[in-house]
Chains A and B, each alone.
Chain A
């Protein structure tokens, strides 16, 4: 609105059309969100795989400690069971490491690489912004001289200002166009870029859990267990507890 007294350096004319500005903000906004999500996904995947590895390691510790108990020397059945368990755990740990390596290579690394483009983008957007500021400043300067009484020196300055303005405006427009072209392309590239990673993630799960299913399936066969239901198992636990409690040496709790 023309009644607003303009500050030095601020042009009155809207030099960038609203639609252009809106388009730019929309495209850049989408990319900023994508940057945030990429970073978060990378972080979460890393933490998830770390926890996965930790779980596997503590499973190995279970069987390792059992194996080192002197009971194994006395009780052959116990020793057999614990040895079989230990073998299974160690194999699963190896497969788990492989799985994590695959995820690192095919998911986390690509995420990182994708994320590394954003600083360049952000820098480019900053430069466009700077060019816009320069543009505005010079535009304001031109308008200032245009407002004044047209004396000789004023005319000279007006000319100068106009000539100063022109390259800056062209620079801004070039940057603007460049970004408006590249940003959607970059945003769109995520589709082709990431789909293979997700495919790899799913496949890695299948590979790992197939092994796990086989190994623990074999182990249950080997330990000669009947396929109990959870209720049955709970009842077995209750029975054992009451048998223990029937002994005088066991304190009532």
Chain B
């Protein structure tokens, strides 16, 4: 039987216990409900996203691809992250006790990924909205879009696209609120409490990061674009407003320079900017130097010395040809391609990346000048216009943006530059490796491959010396192919004169004038080129051996010996002219023909004198060239056939037989001697 007194406290404590337990239970229930809500909403969220990204998107075919990309942005990435998140949530559905704890951990795990995917989507959202607005202006298009959406998502209502596109934004901001609800229904002393707290503040952090990112992107995109304006557009831009802006900036700058206004010193920023400038310089110089290197490589690749075979097959020449071909067509080409891909291309990307920060830095300075002016005005007047406040905000935004990101930028660029230089070095080594391999295998086939380099060079030097002198001898041999010595033609009509001189002086004394001589002194002769003269004296009266006394056949006088050349005649010609007989000098023969006791008349044959002949004695008779003669005897008294007894012009006498030419037909007179 329960003691009533005893019962009361116990029942009372039991009821407070029960009440306590009851509130505990209620809390737990609410917590469970909150957790349930989290999971359920995630499920329907994901479902909606999938409808959008797959179903609706694929139906919106009339829109161009770029538009679809802008509208839906990186929804696919969000879907991926969300489905993994959901999977994590569903896994812990069974673990009732620890669910809250695990949820907290899960959020902490996923916070970075959420930030990564959502910030992109959120930053892009405004652009998407612009597109949606544009579509609304076209009623037909709008109707179509609306139709497609309503078919898939009836609850979208008239706002259609914008309703759908805002969903991810709503979700990411909802997470902290959901977490808060769970937290509220968790006992402070529960193990899950601190975790959930951390998770909530983490997600709040994620949201503020996303906002900041979005704001920065907006500011940056306003100023980083390099605007390609035409001149007219530029002029249109300059309205009084911008002009006044520019002039006030200039005056502000001047005031700064003059020290009238304290310059807003920001040493940290200046250091940052200086480093940025050096980094930029590094990139641009490297890019232009690599460009020069690549240009020279192009030129080098143009020449194909291996295509000149010199008609030498085999041996080192052949080796070289195949080596050079390999190098030009394979090895160096590959080197060039790798260089372009791993060094040149990144440098171009780097150069482009420099543009954004450069513009922002410039804009920051502009806004700084504006800002300073505003500050001054504030001091003077006490208030500023809205526009002037704007300038201040913009400056501050730019400044904080740059201060936040430039260090990272500089660091990244330096790291990349180092990477690029490493690649450059590695490419050089690889090139050397490739060339060496092929060159060494060519070298083994060379005749002197075992010889060390200094020995080979000595040998080569000696060889080249020898071959050089051999070449010399070839050259000399070719130069020995001389022009025909008597290429000087005889002057017309000089044949007779020459013959006369020849007869009188003999062949050794005849000289030909090589170039026109114009005599100066009274005893000097003036002679044309080609003239034949006979040498009388090879020096003048003063003993000057360069001045010779000559006989032209008509005149005598002095000429410069330099201009004379011995007149060559071929041996046979000389013989024919009766001067140097086949075996002996004319003069050594019997000076006179032995006359026959009595001339016997022989059979008449028509014979002609080929050359003129001057009789030197009464036994001889003179001939004129072309004169018909009658041979009385074809030999002299001693039987010497070199002389013939002839009758010419009524006279009889001996003449050299070689001066005669026989002719089968009767002669007809033609040729007359010049007198």
A interface, CB within 8 angstroms of B: 30, 33-34, 37-38, 40-41, 44-45, 47-48, 51-52, 54-55, 58-59, 61-62, 65-66, 69-71, 74-75, 77-78, 81-82, 85, 88, 102, 106, 110, 113-114, 116-117, 120-121, 123-124, 127-128, 130-131, 134, 149-160, 163-164, 166-168, 170-171, 175, 178-179, 182, 185-186, 189-196, 198-203, 205-207, 209-210, 212-213, 216-217, 219-220, 223, 225, 227-228, 230, 233-234, 236-237, 240-241, 243-245, 247-251, 253
Contact = CB atoms under 8 A, between A and B. Distances in A.
Given A117-B478, A134-B487, A198-B317, A163 B572 contact: yes
Contacts of A216: 425, 428-429, 432
Contacts of A212: 428-429, 431-432, 436
B394 interface: no
B48 interface: no
A245 B357 CA distance: 12
B281 interface: yes
A234 B341 contact: yes
B278 A69 contact: yes
A173 B429 CA distance: 63
Contact of B304 (A44, A199, A249): A44
Given A44-B304, A205-B439, A247 B296 contact: no
12 contacts: A44-B305, A110-B464, A152-B669, A167-B573, A168-B484, A192-B467, A195-B315, A198-B316, A202-B439, A212-B429, A240-B415, A249-B406
A114 B292 CA distance: 36
A198 to B, nearest CB: 4
A66 B418 contact: no
A199 B448 contact: yes
Nearest to B318: A198
A225 B422 CA distance: 7
A170 B668 CA distance: 34
B626 A156 contact: yes
B421 A127 contact: no
B471 interface: yes
Shortest Cβ-Cβ A-B pairs, 5 listed: A152-B608, A167-B570, A153-B671, A251-B356, A216-B429
B586 interface: no
B611 interface: yes
Interface stretch (B84-92, B104-112, B282-290): B282-290
A163 B610 CA distance: 12
Contact of A156 (B405, B409, B572, B611): B611
A248 B107 CA distance: 26
A156 B296 contact: no
B480 interface: yes
Given A116-B475, A153-B625, A155-B663, 16 more contacts: A44-B308, A65-B289, A71-B279, A78-B414, A121-B478, A152-B663, A152-B671, A153-B626, A167-B484, A178-B481, A191-B315, A206-B436, A217-B429, A237-B349, A237-B416, A244-B409
B532 interface: no
A123 to B, nearest CB: 7
Given A81-B418, A159-B661, A250-B356, A189 B474 contact: yes
B460 A196 contact: yes
B493 to A, nearest CB: 14
A107 B408 CA distance: 55
Contacts of B474: 117, 120, 182, 185-186, 189
B287 to A, nearest CB: 10
A195 B225 CA distance: 63
Interface string B410-447: 00111110111111111011011101100110110011
B436 A251 contact: no
A249 B356 contact: yes
Contacts of B423: 233
Give chain A's interface secondary structure class.
helix
B312 A153 contact: no
Given A47-B303, A241-B349, A249-B356, A71 B278 contact: yes
A211 to B, nearest CB: 8
B220 interface: yes
B478 A182 contact: yes
Nearest to B658: A159
Contacts of A78: 414, 418
B286 A200 contact: no
Nearest to A84: B425
B135 interface: no
A213 B432 CA distance: 5
Contact of A248 (B220, B447, B477): B220
A117 B254 CA distance: 76
A123 B626 contact: no
A209 B282 contact: no
Contact of A30 (B311, B341, B421): B311
A81 B423 CA distance: 13
Given A163-B576, A195-B312, A250-B356, A127 B415 contact: no
Q: Which residue of A178, A199, A216 has the most chain B CB atoms within 10 A of its CB atom?
A: A199
Interface in B466-484: 467-468, 470-471, 474-475, 477-484
A134 to B, nearest CB: 7
Given A205-B435, A251-B356, A155 B401 contact: no
Contacts of B320: 198, 201-202
Contact of B421 (A85, A167, A198, A249): A85
Given A40-B308, A41-B305, A206-B439, A69 B356 contact: no
Contact of A71 (B282, B355, B415): B282
Point out which of B221, B349, B627 has the most chain A C-beta atoms below 10 A from its C-beta.
B349
B286 A65 contact: yes
A237 B342 contact: yes
A41 B435 CA distance: 22
Contacts of A45: 305
Contacts of A88: 425
A52 to B, nearest CB: 6
Nearest to A199: B316
B315 A166 contact: no
B456 interface: yes
A248 B448 contact: no
Contacts of A127: 481-483
A160 to B, nearest CB: 7
Contacts of B302: 47, 51
Given A150-B663, A189-B474, A55 B300 contact: yes
Given A117-B474, A155-B608, A207-B453, A199 B447 contact: yes
Contacts of A206: 436, 439-440, 443
Contacts of A200: 456, 460
A123 B481 CA distance: 8
Nearest to B607: A152
A162 B456 CA distance: 61
B663 A41 contact: no
B41 to A, nearest CB: 30
Given A51-B299, A151-B670, A249 B409 contact: yes
Given A237-B345, A237-B419, A251 B224 contact: yes
B353 interface: yes
B609 interface: yes
Contacts of A113: 468, 471
Nearest to B568: A167
A59 B422 contact: no
Contact of B429 (A81, A102, A219): A219
Given A152-B669, A195-B315, A220-B426, A81 B421 contact: yes
Given A51-B299, A166-B570, A198-B317, A189 B470 contact: yes
Nearest to B572: A166
B316 to A, nearest CB: 4
A68 B602 CA distance: 117
A58 B457 CA distance: 30
B611 A225 contact: no
Which of B304, B355, B460, B670 has most A Cβ within 10 Å? Answer: B460
Nearest to A122: B478
Interface in B312-360: 312, 315-317, 319-320, 323, 338, 341-342, 345-346, 349, 352-353, 355-357, 359-360
